[in-house]
Amino acid sequence: MRAALHVIATVVLLPYIALAAGFLLLGQAISRGSLLSILDALLSQFLWIVPWGAIGMAVAIFLVAALGLSPGSRWLGGACLFVIAAACLVIIVVMPTAPMSPGQWLFLLPCALVLLFGGWLCRVEWLARP
């Protein structure tokens, strides 16, 4: 049951990872100043993401999901879920300049639940190790 919940939690994190990555990439591009610099930054990011970033992200997500399938490494998978969810929440909450509405907080609720689940899973599996 814990393995299935771990895989589901990994899948739930995917839109939050994409949103946080988008905030970071756009924030970096916008900080350049001029329109030509923004377009140059977006093009260079795109040229790096297409061959390497997409493959690396897919492999990383697959590895995080696979860590939860084995009882011996499930604590590490829970720790990865905890860290990824915490990073996504911090980026999504800190990056926007406007105050967040109740609907936006509701949108972040599944990510917060994955954060709690990852911490709980890490703790329970760590204590259950022989």
Residue type, 77: G
Residue type, 9: A
Give the pLDDT confidence score for residue 30 in this predicted structure: 79
The CA dihedral of 25, 23, 10, 87, to the nearest 10 degrees, is 100
Which helix H or strand E contains 75, and what residues bound it? helix 74-94
What residues in the chain have per-residue pLDDT under 50?
Answer: none
Give the pLDDT confidence score for residue 28 in this predicted structure: 77
Give the pLDDT confidence score for residue 17 in this predicted structure: 94
Decide: helix, strand or coil at residue 128: coil
- 3 within 8 A of 68, measured Cβ to Cβ: yes
The pTM of this model reads: 0.85
Give the pLDDT confidence score for residue 39 in this predicted structure: 83
Give the pLDDT confidence score for residue 105 in this predicted structure: 92
Give the pLDDT confidence score for residue 109 in this predicted structure: 96
Q: In whole angstroms, what is the distance from residue 110 CA to residue 4 CA?
A: 16
Give the pLDDT confidence score for residue 37 in this predicted structure: 82
Q: In whole angstroms, what is the distance from residue 87 CA to residue 7 CA?
A: 19
Q: What is the largest CA-CA distance in the chain?
A: 58
